[in-house]
C-alpha cells in the first residue's frame, strides 16, 4: 500500500510555503519590537512631572521669587506653585507625584495581561492579521490621546469612552453569567437588566462628567494618562502580542520553542532600542518634549504594527497541526473552557507567576538598586564619596538596565531552542533553579562586574518565560486555540507584575533592603521547579494510560 503523502510537504511543493512562513516571522518580530517599548515606560515619568504638576518649590525659594517681583523668577507665577517646607519635603513631593504617574505602567501591564484573554479568542476566530490591526489602533490611539492630555475636548471624549467601556464590561459579565440561560428570557426582570445597566452607566457618566471633568487640575491629566498610556495602550499590546506567537507556532509545529523565542525576542530588544538617546526616545523627548513624543510614538506604533500585521497569516488548513504534542504523543486541541478544567493549567499558571514575579520585581527597581549597591560597596570599602561621586555611581548602575534588556531578548531565543532539544520539563527545571540562585545572591552584588552578571542572568531567565510558556501551552492544549488558552495562562503575568513591584517596595520600606522580596521570589522559583517535575510526571502518566 502506498503511504499517504505528508500534507505539509505536499502543500509546500504546491506553493512557496517556506518564503511565506519567514515573512510571517519578519512580521512577528516587527510587531513585537514596537510592543516591547512598554518596558521603556520608566523614561516618561520625569518629563511628565513638569507637564502634569505645577513646579515644586521650598518656602525659601518662594520667598526669593516674591522678593524678585514680577511674578517670580523666570516669569513663573509664585501663586501657581506647590510650596513645601524644605529640600527634603521637596524630594518627597516629587517622589509622590511620580508615583501617581507610574501607576500608568501597572495599569498597562494589567490591561495587557487580561485583554489577552479576550484577544486570544478573537485571534483564534478572526486570525492574526485582523486582531493585530485592532491592537495597532488601540496602542497608537492610546499614545495619540495622551499627546492631547491638556485638550478639554479630548478629555471629555476619553471620559465618555471609559464610561462606555464600563457599561460594555458590565454587559459582557451579565451575558457570560446569565445570557445563555433560557430563564433569562422568561424572567421579565432579567430581560430588562441590560437596558438598566446602560441607563445606570450613562447617568453615572454624565453626573461625574459635570462634577469633576476639567475641574481637578493635575488629577485630570493623571486619569488621562492612566486611561490612554495605561489602559488603552495596554489593551493594544494585549491584542497584538498573542498574534505573532499563535501564527508562528502553527507555521513551525516542530520548532515551537525556537520560533516563540524569536518572536518575543523582538519584545525584549524593543525596550533597549526605545531607551536609546540618539535613535530612541530620550533624545527626542529632550529636544521636543514628552507630549510631542507621545504623538510621534503613537503614529509610529500605529503604522509599524499594522505593517507587521499585514505579514501575519495562518497556514493553509492542511499545514495546521491538528494536535499538539504532549511528551511526544498527540493530544487533541482543547477549548479554553476545557483548559480551565485541566489541573495542568493551574500548574502552568503558578509557574508563570513565579518566573514573572521574580523578573518584574527586578526590572522595576534595577536602575536605582544597582546604583545603591555600587554606593554601598564603595562606602563599605572605606571610601568617602562626594555628591558628584554618588551621581557617577548611580549612572553606572543604570547600565544594568541595558544588560538586563539585552539578555532578556537573548534568553527568549536560547531557552526556546534548548526546550525544543531537551524537552520543556528539563528546561523549566534548570531555568527556575538558576533564577532562584540568582535571586539569593542579588543582594550581595556590589561591584560593576557582579551587578552586570546578576542583571544579565535575571534578564536571561526572565526572557525564557516568554518562549517556554506559549510553547508548553501549545504542547499541552494544542495549537488551534492557543490564543485563548495562552491568554488565560498569561493573566498570571499581570498579577505578578503588581505583586512583584509591591513586594519590592514593601520590603524596602520595612527593612531598608530588598533581600526579603528577593528571598520570596527565590522560594517561588524553587516551588516552580518542583511543579515542573510534577507537570512532567502528569504528562507521562497520561501518556501511559492512553497507551
SS (H, E, C) 323-352: EEEECCEEEECCCHHHHHCCHHHHHHHHHH
Grid coordinates given for 233: 495602550
**Average of per-residue pLDDT values in the chain:** 77
Position 354 in a domain: yes
| pLDDT tens per residue across span 390-411 | 777 776 766 777 788 788 888 8
The 10 Å CB-count burial string (b at 16+, else e) for 17-30 is: beebbebbbebbbb
Position 419 in a domain: yes
Which one-letter DSSP state was computed for residue 179? I
Position 398 in a domain: yes
Position 118 in a domain: no
**Burial (CB count <10 Å: 0-12, 13-18, 19+), residue 485:** buried
Mean pLDDT of 342-348: 90
Grid coordinates given for 150: 491638556
Position 260 in a domain: no
Give the pTM. 0.72
Of 439 and 5, the structure prediction assigns the larger pLDDT to 439
Position 49 in a domain: no
| pLDDT tens per residue across span 161-179 | 767 777 777 776 666 666 5
**How many of the other CB atoms lie within 10 Å of CB of 270?**
23
Position 404 in a domain: yes
Q: Of the given ranges (214-218, 231-235, 455-459, 479-483), which has the lowest mean pLDDT?
A: 214-218
Q: Which of 45, 108, 37, 74 is nearest to 290 (CA)?
A: 45
Contact of 214 with 152, CB cutoff 8 Å:
yes
pLDDT band at 60 (very low <50, low <70, confident <90, very high): confident
Looking up residue 535, the CATH number of its domain turns out to be 1.20.1250.20
Of 174 and 124, the structure prediction assigns the larger pLDDT to 124
Measured distance CA(453)–CA(445) in Å, rounded: 9
Task: Look at residue 280 and tell me whether its pLDDT is greater than 80.
Answer: no
**How many of the other CB atoms lie within 10 Å of CB of 541?**
11
Report residue 213: phi and psi, to 5°: -60, 125
| Domain extent at residue 493 | 323-547
Q: Of the given ranges (208-222, 331-345, 389-403), which has the lowest mean pLDDT?
A: 208-222
Alpha-carbon distances, residue 5 vs 18, 19, 115 (angstroms): 18, 22, 41
What is the DSSP track for 284-336? HHHHH-HHHHHHHHHHHHHHHHHHHHHT--PPPGGGS-SEEEETTEEEE---H
pLDDT band at 305 (very low <50, low <70, confident <90, very high): very high
Position 497 in a domain: yes
Rg of the chain, C-alpha, whole Å: 25
Measured distance CA(462)–CA(39) in Å, rounded: 13
Total domains in the chain come to 1
Contact of 482 with 473, CB cutoff 8 Å:
yes
pLDDT band at 542 (very low <50, low <70, confident <90, very high): low
Helix (H) or strand (E) holding 57: strand 56-58
Mean pLDDT of 476-480: 81
Amino acid at each position: 500500500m502506498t503511504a499517504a503523502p505528508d500534507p505539509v510537504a505536499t502543500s509546500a511543493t504546491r506553493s512557496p510555503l517556506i518564503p511565506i512562513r519567514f515573512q510571517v516571522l519578519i512580521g512577528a518580530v516587527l510587531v513585537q519590537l514596537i510592543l516591547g517599548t512598554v518596558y521603556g515606560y520608566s523614561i516618561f515619568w520625569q518629563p511628565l512631572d513638569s507637564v502634569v504638576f505645577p513646579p515644586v518649590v521650598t518656602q525659601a525659594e518662594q520667598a526669593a521669587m516674591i522678593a524678585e517681583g514680577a511674578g517670580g523668577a523666570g516669569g513663573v507665577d509664585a501663586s501657581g506653585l506647590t510650596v513645601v517646607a524644605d529640600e527634603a519635603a521637596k524630594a518627597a513631593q516629587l517622589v509622590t507625584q511620580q508615583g501617581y504617574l507610574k501607576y500608568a505602567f501597572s495599569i498597562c501591564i494589567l490591561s495587557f495581561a487580561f485583554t489577552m484573554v479576550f484577544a486570544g479568542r478573537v485571534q483564534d476566530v478572526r486570525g492574526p492579521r485582523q486582531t493585530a490591526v485592532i491592537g495597532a489602533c488601540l496602542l497608537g490611539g492610546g499614545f495619540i490621546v495622551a499627546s492631547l492630555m491638556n485638550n478639554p475636548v479630548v478629555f471629555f471624549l476619553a471620559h465618555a469612552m471609559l464610561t462606555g467601556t464600563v457599561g460594555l464590561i458590565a454587559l459582557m459579565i451579565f451575558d457570560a453569567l446569565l445570557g445563555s440561560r433560557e430563564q433569562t428570557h422568561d424572567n421579565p426582570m432579567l430581560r430588562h437588566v441590560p437596558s438598566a445597566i446602560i441607563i445606570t452607566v450613562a447617568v453615572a457618566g454624565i453626573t461625574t462628567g459635570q462634577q469633576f471633568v476639567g475641574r481637578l487640575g493635575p488629577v485630570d491629566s493623571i486619569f488621562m494618562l492612566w486611561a490612554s498610556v495605561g489602559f488603552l495602550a495596554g489593551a493594544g499590546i494585549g491584542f497584538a502580542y498573542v498574534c505573532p506567537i499563535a501564527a508562528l507556532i502553527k507555521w513551525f509545529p516542530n520548532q515551537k520553542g525556537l520560533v516563540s523565542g524569536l518572536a518575543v525576542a523582538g519584545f525584549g530588544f524593543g525596550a533597549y532600542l526605545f531607551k536609546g538617546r540618539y535613535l530612541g526616545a530620550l533624545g527626542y523627548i529632550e529636544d521636543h518634549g514628552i507630549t510631542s513624543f507621545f504623538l510621534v510614538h503613537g503614529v509610529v506604533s500605529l503604522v509599524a504594527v499594522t505593517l507587521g500585521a499585514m505579514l501575519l497569516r495562518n497556514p493553509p488548513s492542511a499545514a495546521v497541526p491538528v494536535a499538539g504534542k504532549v511528551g511526544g504523543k498527540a493530544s487533541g486541541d482543547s477549548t479554553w473552557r476545557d483548559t480551565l478544567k485541566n489541573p495542568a493549567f493551574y500548574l502552568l499558571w503558578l509557574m508563570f507567576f513565579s518566573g514573572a514575579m521574580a523578573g518584574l520585581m527586578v526590572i522595576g527597581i534595577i536602575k536605582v538598586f544597582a546604583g545603591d549597591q555600587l554606593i554601598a560597596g564603595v562606602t563599605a570599602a572605606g571610601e568617602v564619596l562626594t555628591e558628584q561621586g554618588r551621581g557617577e555611581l548611580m549612572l553606572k548602575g543604570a547600565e544594568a538596565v541595558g544588560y538586563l534588556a539585552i539578555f532578556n531578548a537573548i534568553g527568549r531565543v536560547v531557552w526556546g531552542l534548548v526546550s525544543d532539544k531537551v524537552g520543556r520539563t528539563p528546561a523549566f527545571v534548570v531555568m527556575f533553579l538558576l533564577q532562584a540562585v540568582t535571586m539569593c545572591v542579588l543582594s550581595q552584588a556590589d561591584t560593576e562586574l557582579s551587578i552586570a552578571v546578576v542583571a544579565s542572568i535575571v534578564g536571561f531567565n526572565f526572557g525564557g518565560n516568554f518562549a517556554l510558556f506559549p510553547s508548553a501551552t501549545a504542547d499541552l492544549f494544542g495549537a488551534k486555540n492557543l490564543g485563548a488558552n495562552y491568554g488565560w495562562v498569561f493573566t498570571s503575568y499581570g498579577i505578578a507584575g503588581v505583586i512583584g513591584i509591591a513586594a519590592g517596595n514593601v520590603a524596602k520600606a520595612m527593612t531598608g533592603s530588598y533581600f526579603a522580596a528577593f528571598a520570596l521570589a527565590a522560594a517561588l522559583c524553587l516551588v516552580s521547579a518542583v511543579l515542573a517535575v510534577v507537570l512532567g510526571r502528569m504528562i507521562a502518566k497520561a501518556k501511559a494510560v492512553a497507551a
